[in-house]
Amino acid sequence: MQVQSYLFFDGRCDEAIAFYQKTLDAEVGMLMRWKDSPDKSMCTPGNENKVMHASLKIGETRVMASDGRNTGNPKFDGFALSVDAKDEADADRLFNGLSAGGKVVMPLGKTFFSPRFGMIQDKFGVNWMVIVEPK
């Protein structure tokens, strides 16, 4: 069994995908727009070119995404995605990239459980934790 994250960007999915491609080296495995749905009743005026479903590979993890109903009000409360950096320099790169245009929740630094850990809310409102696993 796998549990996968599905993020609804409410109209900013294309922008989010491009951001994660640049920041996390995400690879798009699949992308379908509402206009391409076999069920044409789901395509409404204004959402034709919005993302109905996308699948991104980030490292070894699959994250799915959509514009959802394109209401313009994404909410990502109550959870965070955690990314394991390979070393401290990689943690710095990931943290700086994810925090661009967003906000730092906990600055990246040494903790009792990691040589490098920090928390961010990216510019889309998605909460992230960046960690270097202790050796």
Instruction: Give the amino acid at 10.
Output: D
| pLDDT value at 15 more than 90 | yes
Closest CA to 8 of 49, 69, 93: 69
| pLDDT value at 2 more than 90 | no
Query: Can you give the CATH number for the domain in which 106 is found?
Result: 3.30.720.110
| pLDDT value at 41 more than 90 | no
Query: Can you give the CATH number for the domain in which 37 is found?
Result: 3.30.720.100
Report percent pLDDT > 70 for the chain: 100
Count of domains in the chain?
A: 2
Report percent pLDDT > 90 for the chain: 83
Query: pLDDT at position 22, please?
Result: 97
Mark whether 93 and 46 lie in a shared domain.
no
Could you list the residue range(s) of the whole structural domain that residue 126 is in?
81-132
Work out the end-to-end distance of the chain between its first and last CA atoms, rounded to an integer number of angstroms.
28
Section 69-95 average pLDDT: 93
Q: 114 lies in a domain?
A: yes
Section 75-84 average pLDDT: 95
Q: 75 lies in a domain?
A: no
- Give the model confidence (pLDDT) of 17-26 as tens digits: 999 999 999 9
Q: Token digits for 132?
A: 């270097």
- Give the model confidence (pLDDT) of 102-131 as tens digits: 999 999 999 999 999 999 999 999 999 999
Query: pLDDT at position 45, please?
Result: 83
Q: 76 lies in a domain?
A: no
- Give the model confidence (pLDDT) of 51-67 as tens digits: 999 999 999 999 999 99
Q: 126 lies in a domain?
A: yes
CB 54 within 8 A of CB 8: no
3-class DSSP assignment, residue 32: strand
Q: 14 lies in a domain?
A: yes
